[in-house]
Amino acid sequence: MKKSDSSDDQTELSFASLVPQDDELEEIEAHSIKKSAKGVSDSFSDWFLDYASYVILERAVPHIDDGTKPVQRRLLHSMWEMEDGRYNKVANIIGNTMKYHPHGDQSIGDALVQMGQRNLLIDTQGNWGNTLTGDRAAASRYIEARLSKFALEVAFNPKTTTWALSYDGRNKEPVTLPMKFPLSLAHGVEGIAVGLACKILPHNFIELIDGSIAVLQGEETNILPDFQTGGVADFSDYNRGLRGGRIRVRAVIEKRTKNSLVIKEIPFSTTTSSLIDSILAANDKGKIKILKLEDNTAENVEIIVYLPSGSDAQQMIEALYVFTDCEVSVAPNACVIHKDKPEFLSVDELLKRSTLQTKGLLKRELEIELGELNEKWHFASLEKIFIENRIYRDIEEAETWEEVIRVIDVGLEPFKEMFLREITEDDIVALTEIRIKRISKFNSFKADEQIKKLEEAIKQVKHHLRHLTKYAIAYFERLKEKFGKGRERKTRIESFTKVVASKVAIANETLYVNRKEGFAGIGMKKDEEVCKCSTLDDIVVIRRDGTMLITRVSAKAFVGKDILYINVLSPDTMDQLVYNMVYRDGKNGKSYAKRFFMGGFTRDREYTLSKGTPGSRILYFTVLTKEKVDVLNIQLKPAPRLRKTQFEFDFSQLTIKGRGSQGNVVTAHAIKSATRKERLQVEVKEENESE
């Protein structure tokens, strides 16, 4: 019985050891959740990297070799495949391209329209939209396209193309096109990938060719963008197209009549529709004042802006640059795919690499041509020897094919040293395929002429290979002569200063102040009116205690109680206005007088115009131009032993200093009043003193 009990206890212990307890269950569950979370995290990390790499390499960024994105490359290859000299429906082109590009017809169609609007590689027919107005192209079934003669000359050569299988393995497509032109710089490229973006601005066709020639000649280049929409651009901060650079592009605006302006060219990245919308929005917000707009754009841009009577046309032009899309800022970011990874390069480096690649492609084409010419010369010489020496007659008695080959080979033996390569069995087989009719009509003189022409061509190709740089320069010069007509620069290069918004803002608001409560703003229409202002203006507030605040105009803001002076602070007149004041230092201190310029400032920071002693108070304050000063009548409070209680104080004896100066002592006695006696015109005395 005891033995039995012992056995049962052991059995229970063994089962208990297999079943996890509560604390063990919690630990197992936590470990399982942690492991699962880690697995999901790792999977997301891998998937994200795969997706990011795919978008960068296969969608958004052009390849350095041909300057095209995959969809553009496949489109061009598809059009070359369909090329027969006639136009093809865009719908058909899109359909044919879909066997190479797995992302649907919409992306293919959009890419084709964008390339067609560049008017370089694609010859278009029909309504392809308008880059000036932003109008879209007609449906793909209504418009047609074919490769331009320029594209056929620079973008295709099956002999120098590296091929790969398409996404479904049914077709072959080019890894990159053998592009003999800096296409990415001519077209411009814009794409947003995962974690990076590409924005290569378009450049001028002729200037790119001139730049390529300069590269071949070992000269430095400095190419600048050129836009189809024209305009005026400041490239001072272009930074050769690298990240961190920036250009400013302006519309061309001219005065048409006394009260109207005409916009003739628009900035890059805008359309007439978006430009008009920005002008109307600025007018609605009160930043500019116009009567109406007329859009007469057709082949060329013409937007007429009508102004209110009495408007300053030049000021309105500057206001349009500040408050509308008549001036835009563009940030370039030249990024390309090189060796299966993105690389950031300057546009001049891109031009250099493209030019050297073109030179390399020209070399390969010459080498291929030389090989083909050598083969033609080889067989033409073989044929001439075979027929002239009647070697074909020696095979009449041969009974087997092997014997035929051997007999011809023996007949050619004396002549083998004159050939550039060994005579192979394939060469001999080709000789046996010559027809009897051709042998009977063989003309030795014509054969010699043909061989001579081949030798001259071989000599010329070898000359080009020895002088490859000159050959490449001549190639670019031919491109310029053949295709450069009508491709002159459209965007003017100028350097212009940035217009300060506050200087051209229209003062169509009214500033109000509540001196008792200490509030000021443009929304306090029931309070004291101060002056006209704009929403971009700064206001200066000076209080009785000698403190000053400068802040931006707002609807309503607390600026401090006991306001002595409030006004708009105009940047144009800051260096012309002089602040004149007499203040008491503390409750019972001496009185000081000072003349000062406003100087630099930080908004919403309080400044002390007195010595800063608690209880200080401004006794007299005025703002005048440099040439004018006040003469004050100072009245002192009666005091024991004080005989003279009145005297004059002339501000002209003070030098104009910075606002941080303490000033000159006027009197050590308490001043009862300080009033202006007269105002004088004097010579200006200034002293540069930091705050």
Q: In DSSP terms, which residues pair with 294 in a beta bridge? A: 304
E strand intervals along 485-576:
492-493, 509-514, 519-521, 528-533, 538-543, 547-552, 557-558, 563-569
Tell me which amino acid residue 165 is.
Answer: L
Tell me which amino acid residue 633 is.
Answer: N
Query: Is residue 644 within 8 Å of residue 635, measured between CB atoms?
Result: no
Contacts of 106 (CB under 8 A, 6+ apart): none
Q: Is 417 exposed, middle or buried (0-12, 13-18, 19+ CB in 10 A)?
A: exposed
Quick check: is 142 catalytic?
Answer: yes
Buried residues in 28-67 as b, exposed as e (16+ CB within 10 A)? eeeeeeeeeeeeeeeeeeeeeeeeeeebbbbbbbbbbbbb
Is the Cα dihedral 517, 523, 528, 530 positive or negative? positive
- Read off the tokens for 586: 């503390």
Calpha distance 656→688 (Å, rounded): 8
Query: Is residue 214 within 8 Å of residue 220, measured between CB atoms?
Result: yes
483: helix, strand or coil: helix
245: helix, strand or coil: coil
Q: Which of 675, 688, 653 is nearest to 582 (CA)?
A: 675
Calpha distance 188→226 (Å, rounded): 10
User: What sections of 263-396 are H helices per DSSP?
Assistant: 272-284, 313-323, 347-388
Q: What is the DSSP string of 621-686?
A: EEEEETTEEEEEEEEEPP-TT----EEEEEGGGSPEE-TT---EEEESSPEEEEEEEEEEE----B
Query: Is residue 364 within 8 Å of residue 372, measured between CB atoms?
Result: no
Among 51, 54, 100, 142, the one annotated catalytic: 142
Catalytic residues: 142
